């Protein structure tokens, strides 16, 4: 397995597939998952001639599980360490959910020197939790519930969370055991310490200032049936804050649309990269 060592010594696992001279995609995954969540996109884009890179956030997947540094500034710096070590340039950065916050904070802290385009998929910015500035957000009790679920019995909690994550609780939908199991497996591979701390980072951190610094073409993709990160307080607002961003709404799509709408997302990523 391949690792980059972050500034504090934490080892960050990464995948790097394809011709090193090809145009790169860099993927940031959602919570509580790992880079495997992007397999359907990475294989497709690799087959279409792109270099594809993804890492496991610290405390998630195969990366180290430190008790410190489980905050968005450090996540962004870890991502920078990966991109610098691999000498990535002119990348299409793609972030899903928490990974969208990570991409935004990366640009907020490190700029767009290595970035050509950005895609935010079901992403958490500008901020999920309700605040004085953003009164339309979710009540903090929602995130306290997530913390309780992780603390009490995260194994069962992840099995249960997979159902609305992929929209399996909607009328006419079927339970897909494979998606539930891969969600559970990715979640349980990570650290309870890192995953618990990460809840604060995707819910209560304000990414508005970071979004305003995105000065490259940006595509915002969001499902209008996202039960985890509601579109009205996420994708819709983000598309208004990021200069010249384009919002593309997937009708009926859930939060886990990279799996449920894999072919549609793959086609949109390919078109956006080639445009």
Q: Give the pLDDT confidence of 60-86 residue by residue, as tens digits.
A: 999 999 999 999 999 999 999 999 999
Q: Identify the pLDDT of residue 129.
A: 98
Domain of residue 31, CATH code: 3.40.50.1820
Percent of the chain with pLDDT over 90: 97
The token duo for 237 is 């607002």
pLDDT band at 131 (very low <50, low <70, confident <90, very high): confident
Q: Identify the pLDDT of residue 16.
A: 98
Beta carbons of 61 and 236 less than 8 angstroms apart: no
Mean pLDDT of 132-147: 95
Question: How many domains are contained in the chain?
Answer: 1
Percent of the chain with pLDDT over 70: 100
Catalytic residues: 97, 226, 255
pLDDT band at 132 (very low <50, low <70, confident <90, very high): confident
Instruction: Tell me: pLDDT of 1 over 90.
Output: no
Residue numbers of the domain that contains 122:
2-274
Q: Using the 8-state DSSP alphabet, how is residue 230 labeled?
A: -
| DSSP H stretches of helix in the chain | 39-47, 72-85, 98-110, 140-165, 177-189, 192-203, 208-212, 235-241, 257-260, 262-274
Rounded Cα distance between 212 and 241, Å, is 6
Distances (CA, A) of 62 to 12, 33, 55, 94, 180: 8, 11, 9, 20, 20
Mean pLDDT of 90-102: 98
Beta carbons of 189 and 61 less than 8 angstroms apart: yes
| Span 265-274, pLDDT tens digits | 999 999 999 9
β-strands 11-17, 2-5 pairing: antiparallel
Rounded Cα distance between 60 and 273, Å, is 28
How confident is the prediction for the chain on average, in pLDDT? Answer: 97
Candidates 253, 230, 261; CA nearest to 170 is 253
Instruction: Tell me: pLDDT of 14 over 90.
Output: yes
Candidates 177, 181, 178, 201; CA nearest to 189 is 181
Entry pTM: 0.97
Q: Identify the pLDDT of residue 206.
A: 97
What phi, psi does 104 have (nearest 5°)?
-60, -45
3-class DSSP state of 5: strand
| Span 236-253, pLDDT tens digits | 999 999 998 999 999 999
pLDDT band at 44 (very low <50, low <70, confident <90, very high): very high
Instruction: Tell me: pLDDT of 133 over 90.
Output: no
| Span 156-176, pLDDT tens digits | 999 999 999 999 999 999 999
Instruction: Tell me: pLDDT of 205 over 90.
Output: yes
Beta carbons of 157 and 150 less than 8 angstroms apart: yes
Q: Identify the pLDDT of residue 141.
A: 97
3-class DSSP state of 240: helix
Rounded Cα distance between 146 and 134, Å, is 21
């Amino acid at each position: 397995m391949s690792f980059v060592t972050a500034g504090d010594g934490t080892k960050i696992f990464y995948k790097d597939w394809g011709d090193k001279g090809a145009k790169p995609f860099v993927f940031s995954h959602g919570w509580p998952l790992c880079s495997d969540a992007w397999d359907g996109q990475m294989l497709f884009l690799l087959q279409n001639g792109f270099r594809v890179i993804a890492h496991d956030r610290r405390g998630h997947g195969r990366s180290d599980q430190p008790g410190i540094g489980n905050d968005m500034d450090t996540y962004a710096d870890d991502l920078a360490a990966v991109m610098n070590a691999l000498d990535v340039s002119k990348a299409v950065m793609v972030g899903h959910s928490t990974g969208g916050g990570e991409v935004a904070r990366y640009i907020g802290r490190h700029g767009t020197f290595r970035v050509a385009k950005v895609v935010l998929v079901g992403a958490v910015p500008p901020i999920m939790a309700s605040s004085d500035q953003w009164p339309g957000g979710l009540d903090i009790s929602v995130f306290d519930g997530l913390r309780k679920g992780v603390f009490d019995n995260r194994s069962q909690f992840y099995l249960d969370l997979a159902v609305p994550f992929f929209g399996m609780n909607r009328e006419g939908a079927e339970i897909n055991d494979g998606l539930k199991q891969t969600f559970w497996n990715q979640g349980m591979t990570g650290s309870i310490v890192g995953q618990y701390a990460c809840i604060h980072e995707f819910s209560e951190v304000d990414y508005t200032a970071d979004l305003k610094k995105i000065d490259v073409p940006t595509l915002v993709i969001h499902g209008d049936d996202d039960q985890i990160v509601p579109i009205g307080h996420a994708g819709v607002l983000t598309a208004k804050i990021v200069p010249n961003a384009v919002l593309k709404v997937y009708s009926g799509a859930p939060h886990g649309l990279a799996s449920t709408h894999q072919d549609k997302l793959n086609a949109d990523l390919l078109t956006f990269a080639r445009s």
